[in-house]
Structure 1
């Protein structure tokens, strides 16, 4: 178990859909431990495997006293009510913008032993579940911003020291603020 480097915006692994987990073994348990350690060390509410360079459908979360992980997660909206509020990402450090998400969701997946898990809770937890599941699909939260705010966000990202010199022309995910 150890803290891993977090991949930053511009890294192709963040734009690649993760593969389903098919083997529930010691290697998966180590991955979840590394994700948890890294999430805590970086002060995040969640962390997806692609953010540490692993292309598997796994994420960890720690929100409002609820901590855990989901393997091969899916989520379903409960109702049609949305929330619009601040969101950030460990892969886009020190920046954040208001993003639209579903207010309530129920997430389902498996734990590291292959046992089914269901997670639901606060609006903040619902936001984290949607955010981390997006990472597993190669989607970043800036893809969900409306066109004008996304343009502003991209300008702010390009101006950061950590992004210096990278080129990102267009997101491969034309969501632009649309909820799924």
Structure 2
């Protein structure tokens, strides 16, 4: 079930940052704001060394940056030059990025689910093909139709989010916990095995 997340050798953070700077210098500016989305990031990425807008996500152990996405799931992070250009023109690019994410998320909210004996989903896998599963947790109330106001979320791996109904017991609780702990344990880029109130993500 977790084969996708088998650990691989990871390039050092400093090397990743240098590669990112080079890509931003080399590629032409893409001003298509319809492609910009917020991205949940490891908290360790939040630093003055990051070559573009990035900040801590509320009081959570995560950061948030912004990137332009293409159909091949290639992300080019928003640079300082890009953000300054948009802001100079009076464009609320962060607001537009959230609108893009909300539209995408409502069309394709989750990748998979497991239903209980009552026929209702009790856990959702946010392992979406667009690699923005965890970012969907930024959309207020996205899963309230399924879970009401009482549910829990997690981001065990950089490309994998989980949402599940609060108060699970027995096999349902075991499955939800195994999904989170398994992704965190074998993931290429583990994030956190903590569980959170979804409202803590609704800060953008």
Shorter-chain TM-score tier:
0.3 to 0.5
When Rg is computed on C-alpha atoms for both structures, the one with the higher figure is 2
User: Which structure has more strand as a fraction of its residues?
Assistant: 1
More helix by share: 2
Give the structure-2-normalised TM-score.
0.30
